[in-house]
Chain A
Amino acid sequence: MSKTTTMRAVAAVFLAFAATNDAARAETAQDIVVASDKVRNPGEPFRSTNTLTEFVAGKPRDQNVLVVYAKEDPATHQFRNLIRYVAPPRDQGKMVLLDGRVLWFYDPNSKASVRISPQQRLIGQAAIGDVLTVNFAVDYSGTLLGDETIQDASRKDRQCWHLDMKAANDQAVYNRVEYWVEHGTNYPVKAKFYSDSGRLLKILYYRGFEEQLGRIRPTEAVIIDAVDTSLVTTFKFGDFHAQAIPDAWFQRDYLPRLQPE
């Protein structure tokens, strides 16, 4: 065997090893995201009440309250969401349906349903896209960047997997997400959300880990607007209830019929 042939063989083995190692890391990344999804999202259909408090330059300003009905679609393993505005009073009764690519906004004042684009999920400081129940593992493909110790929302050190997640389909709310998940518990700790152009849009910290619907889950999140860092929104996910939700609810014509529980 010539020297050149030997070097080629070594290079081939090295590349094969590197490829295998990357594949293993990618598979591991996906496992971590799946495990973290199970922490964030109940496995059964549920209803929760989300309170969003907006802070401008450090001072609390508006508060929005939304009731979210979510149910996993067994075909896609992604959640279907129905969102009903409870507060502020001017928005009370408005609704949003998000079912895959199909998004509708319903206003009880005009009794009109308007088709909206996925991009419209991101409108408003407290965007609908932030209160959706979403399985990241379905909408994103993750890569493990490394193992890092970062501080959580209460400035406590957490040993985390650092993941880089790219949108895997056109239903993903954001184009790219950086995600930190704690070793062992698979608790989500932090996420950074990026636009199609690569601009950092939001920084999110999970906190308030409590038992809800059978396991410890984050019940609060803090979102920093990375474009205007004087804007911060806190989310309180409360009042979790397991609830049978018929599939027929997730269509436009049901929106006017949805009754407060």
Chain B
Amino acid sequence: MIARLCGLALLGLALGDAVALADENSDLDLIPQAAGQPQTPTVAVSPGGAPNQRLYLENALTGSGPRGGLPVPFPPPKPATWQERLFLDARKQWVLGDRVTLTLSDRLNLRAESNLDGPGHQNTINDFREGYVSWEALDRTYLDAGRINLKNGAAVGFNPTDFFKTRAVVDPLSVDPTVLREDRLGTVMGFGERIWQGGTLMVAVAPKLTNPTAVYKSTDLRSFDPSFDRTNAHARFMVKGSADLAEDFAPELLLYHEADRTSVGTNLTRSVSQDVVVYAEWAGGTRSSLVDEALRYGRQTGTLPMNASSAIPESSISGFQSELSVGGSYTTESKITFNLEYHFNQAGFSRRDWNNWFRAGSSPGARAAITRELWYLRSYAAEQQEPLSEHSVFLRADRVDAFVPNLEITGFINADLYDGSSLAQVTADYYLSNAWTVGGLVIADLGRAHSDFGSLPQTASVLFRLARYF
């Protein structure tokens, strides 16, 4: 009896195993016939890979909605209500010889928009982003010279240590900070770098080539001009070093000098779990407030009258001011990556500055000169790429293969912590193929009338784009 039971049990186990293995082999049924055979690359790739390059043609059509009843009237010309742009974007690196490379990066824009008068040079804008020669003088010791886009910073939404960002972005299509970094002008400089095992030292020296120029409007951009006034209006100097001090701890330290301003900074990153990375980026130095810097710059470049008093209180006193971006990223199992950051710009607008700004611009007798000056402050801050307000918070989310394969959706919101107003953008890109991408984005300025983003002259804009990569 016992022997029979044992026999049945063994038979049962054997049958169970057979069923399990049959299930195991059924996974093979999921492999499509086309994938059953060895694949041959359809992409032409030279041994070791393709050259370092990207070339694409893109068309972007933007429509924007104006906001009525602004508490501080926006000076003419009014922002465009539509823009059509076709551009060719190229980045390529050539090997010139043993250890010598040449890098060029450029974007040629053809544009038409509602506030441009007729055909003219404003319809063609060329952004000469980079052009430099790099020489590896010794193993992992590099000397570069030319126009170089030198980027610093661990954070995503605001980079206090990205000292060469000021004035470098020309007429952007997106306000996503990660996209703004893609299309910005480099600075003419000499650059040296030594990379050791576990450490790096970099030195950048940028000469003054021209005098500072006025803050640009969308209607007075340079056409075929390298725009060195944006990047080389002052002599600049930067030293950056990093070292692996412990496992997963390699802080970056920076020293930067420009004209009468010296700053120090640091970047720290650390992985705290499988799905969380935290980071902090700080820079500090002696400088004036954003209001004072903007007024001084406006007078120096002739935009604001030299001897007129300001519409809002100003002070010539400088002090040590900090800029901070601290936050982290979190990636979910469903493949969404979130970045949450707190931004602090000590030189930015305080609550009192905001009250002064709205009070001066909203008074019944506010003259055009006053409103022009008030909006100039904001244009200056935008060109400097620093937050206008002292305190803000930034949240970004990115999902690849969102809902369907090859659809990437990105969204961010940048909120002013004084008044709760915010700038929000949602972008969707669908990769039709390896060569074609179709996409769109929506930008909205949200908030009550007397708020940072709620007082802007546009409520929202919508962009559709089609890109062909080569």
Write the residues of chain A forming the contact surface with B, with a CB cutoff of 8 angstroms.
Answer: 47, 49, 51, 53-63, 65, 67, 84, 86-90, 92-93, 100-103, 107-112, 114-120, 122-125, 148-151, 153, 155, 170, 190, 195-197, 199, 203, 205, 207-208, 220, 222, 224, 229, 231-232, 234, 236, 239, 241, 246-248, 251-254, 257, 259-261
| A254: chain B residues within 8 A (beta carbon) | 140, 195
B67 interface contact, C-beta 8 A: no
What are 7 A-B residue pairs whose CB atoms fall within 8 Å in the complex? Answer: A51-B41, A53-B35, A101-B247, A102-B271, A109-B182, A115-B277, A260-B49
Rounded to whole angstroms, the CA-CA distance of A199 and B42 in the bound complex is 33
| A236: chain B residues within 8 A (beta carbon) | 38-41
Partner of B31, one of A109, A115, A149, A205: A205
Query: Beyond A90-B434, A102-B271: 13 further Cβ-contacts under 8 Å?
Result: A49-B47, A65-B43, A87-B434, A107-B182, A117-B271, A119-B332, A155-B28, A196-B274, A232-B32, A239-B47, A251-B200, A253-B202, A259-B95
Residue of A nearest to B331 (CB): A119
Partner of B32, one of A58, A170, A239: A58
Partner of A63, one of B43, B95, B193: B43
B52 pairs with A92, CB closer than 8 A? yes
Q: Which of B56, B276, B331, B433 has the most CB of A within 10 A?
A: B331
B77 interface contact, C-beta 8 A: no
In the complex, which residues 382-406 of chain B have their Cβ closer than 8 Å to any Cβ of chain A?
400-401, 405-406
Partner of B50, one of A87, A110, A120, A203: A87
Rounded to whole angstroms, the CA-CA distance of A252 and B35 in the bound complex is 36
In the complex, which residues 127-176 of chain B have their Cβ closer than 8 Å to any Cβ of chain A?
136, 139-140, 142, 149-151, 153-154, 156
7 A-B pairs with the lowest CB-CB distances in the bound complex, closest first: A261-B48, A58-B32, A88-B434, A110-B181, A119-B275, A89-B469, A119-B331
| Among B19-27, B116-124, B369-377, the stretch in contact with A | B19-27
| B36: chain A residues within 8 A (beta carbon) | 153
Partner of B140, one of A87, A100, A117, A246: A246
| A111: chain B residues within 8 A (beta carbon) | 149-151, 181
| B53: chain A residues within 8 A (beta carbon) | 92-93
B31 pairs with A232, CB closer than 8 A? yes
Q: A100-B248, A261-B48 are in contact. Are A112 and B28 (CB under 8 A)?
A: no
Majority DSSP secondary structure for residues of B touching A = loop
A62 pairs with B156, CB closer than 8 A? no
Min CB distance B465 to A, Å, is: 13
A63 pairs with B151, CB closer than 8 A? no
Q: Which of B45, B49, B198 has the most CB of A within 10 A?
A: B49
Partner of A67, one of B41, B48, B156: B48
| A55: chain B residues within 8 A (beta carbon) | 32, 34-35
Q: A49-B45, A55-B32, A65-B41 are in contact. Are A93 and B269 (CB under 8 A)?
A: no
Rounded to whole angstroms, the CA-CA distance of A62 and B40 in the bound complex is 13
Partner of B25, one of A93, A151, A196, A234: A151
Q: A124-B400, A153-B28, A239-B47 are in contact. Are A102 and B55 (CB under 8 A)?
A: no
